[in-house]
Amino acid sequence: MKLILASGSPRRRELMSLVYPEFTVAVARGEEITTEKQPHKAVMQLALHKAEEVAGNFPDCVVIGCDTVVVFRDKILGKPHSEQQAFEMLKDLSGNTHEVFTGVALVYNDVKCCFYDRSEVTFYQLDEQRISRYIATGSCMDKAGAYGIQDSGFVSGISGSYYNIVGLPVELLKVKLKEFVR
């Protein structure tokens, strides 16, 4: 069965190759809008929108959509819209623990399966210069919460799946894919 990853994220492509080495990428272009206030529901809704958008062009293929958000003090943090917003996000996360939710949707014709994973991340205390240096790299602008666990050096500890924090809960996806394609 052919798998399609509905994501342009190079990090998700790399992680997907750990699950299933042969897949195709078809990027969902729709706007990321959710009406859900609960993080786990929001990421599953957004992942399903992406998967359904792409699935329309690939009948008889399993399409995988994903979305990741950071949650701090009950506020959902997506990708920053400006460097100032990135700075404010990182300053808030500094020295604190937050949650990372990644929703995944599997779509095969009319059959759909949605699930999510949740991890906790604790940051070191960050000074403003360190935050500014990271923002200057540009790496923060395409990541939920304005950071990448793989390149920021901000993380003092995690609880849960590392891969979930990067953007694709590999361990859970392997299990769900086996169940889904039976």
The active-site residue, picked from 67, 74, 92, 117, is: 67
Q: Is 67 a catalytic residue?
A: yes
**Nearest alpha-carbon partner for 112 in 50, 21, 157, 168:** 50
Active site residues: 67
